Amino acid sequence: MENELLKPYQLGNLKLKNSLVMAPLTRRRAGAGNAPVEMNAIYYAQRASAGLIIAEASQISPTAAGYMNTPGIYSAEQIAGWKKVTDAVHNKGGHIFLQLWHVGRVSHSLLQPGNILPVSASAISGGDYITTPRGKMPMEIPHALTKEEINLIIEDYRKAAANAMLAGFDGVEIHAANSYLADQFMHTSSNVRTDEYGGSIENRGRFTLEVTDAVSAEIGANRTGIRLSPSNIRYGMDDPDPASLFGYVISELNKRNILFLHLVEPMQPLDNHPHMIREVAKFFRPYFSGTLITAGNYTPESGKAVLEAGHADLVAYGRLFISNPDLPERISKNAPLNPPDTDTFYTQGPEGYIDYPFLKDQNK
């Protein structure tokens, strides 16, 4: 039987060559002003045989950043840098979305303009360490956003989505996963607000849905995707009832007819979290009738199996796309995969970035 991973897929107006997605991957190799450079265009163009690329998390404003050398999507320079990337991918017949990012409390005043405190739903620290220009530092207690400030951030998302269109992206993915700002609003462990953004599940989901509405209104629901990680426990994320919380949020997203829902499977052992969902895509598939992308620890075999089981429509690969620019070809030929080198995930320069070999060169 034909490998489902290699089947073309119609995603809204886009005809994907196969059912493999390159997951969003922070590589910390942006240039001056957090603008993408030529090397970033080479890296993405090398991976244009993916059905869809979701480009790395990119900050929607200067205060949205939590890491050094990550790209942004709020300045003219950044839009111009990204245009080089999208042109390079489109020239190779690929499709590319941009992931829109606000880290919230997963930052540090040393990473913030004017050294202001990072922000979050509530004044609760993520309880971990974070890399700053002065080395590893404990996370600080963030500033709890006022309602006016929340509205300004939603406006930043809207503008960032518009900028992504100017930069030639085919659409955007709202990053509402992995312990960042939207996640901080959703979980009880990071949100103790008493206004309409805290308390009930509806209130905790409000920020994520308002961001989705703002982005969809700006660029169209058919260009808007979102990423959620319902079983993520990193940086102090926890919730007594993730099934109800994310069941509600995903049902609401479903009503909005957005292009896709991208779900991350558990990435940490959940032994001490019996209430967390083990098989995320399988659990939430019935809640969402649009395109469902699943990510997290997939091999070529398990990715094929999850599509055959009908738990998702597309499979995203992260680390395997870092080390195998031609992953679809390798899967089609059952060829060996290059192992990813974790030491160069976040270093500067071309090593471990644009020098992973293609199969055609290895076979010479």
* Interface contacts to ligand FNR, rule CB under 6 A: 23-26, 56-57, 99, 175, 177-178, 227, 264, 295-298, 317-320, 345
**Shortest Cβ 111–ligand FNR spacing (Å):** 16
**Shortest Cβ 195–ligand FNR spacing (Å):** 28
Q: Which is nearer to ligand FNR, 74 or 144 (CB)?
A: 74
Q: Which is nearer to ligand FNR, 45 or 293 (CB)?
A: 293
**Shortest Cβ 214–ligand FNR spacing (Å):** 20
Residue of minimal Cβ distance to ligand FNR: 318
- Which residue is catalytic, options 180, 248, 353, 356? 180
Q: Which is nearer to ligand FNR, 11 or 25 (CB)?
A: 25
Q: Which is nearer to ligand FNR, 30 or 320 (CB)?
A: 320
Q: Which is nearer to ligand FNR, 47 or 175 (CB)?
A: 175
d(CA 118, CA 113): 10
Using the structure block, give the residue that is written with the tokens 């992206």: 169
Q: Which is nearer to ligand FNR, 177 or 259 (CB)?
A: 177
d(CA 278, CA 9): 27
**Shortest Cβ 234–ligand FNR spacing (Å):** 11
Using the structure block, give the residue that is written with the tokens 């069941």: 247
**Is 180 in the active site?**
yes
Judge whether 111 and 70 are in contact, CB under 8 Å.
no
First to last CA, the chain: 30
Q: Which pair of tokens denotes residue 339?
A: 């192992």
**Shortest Cβ 27–ligand FNR spacing (Å):** 7
Residues with catalytic annotation? Answer: 180
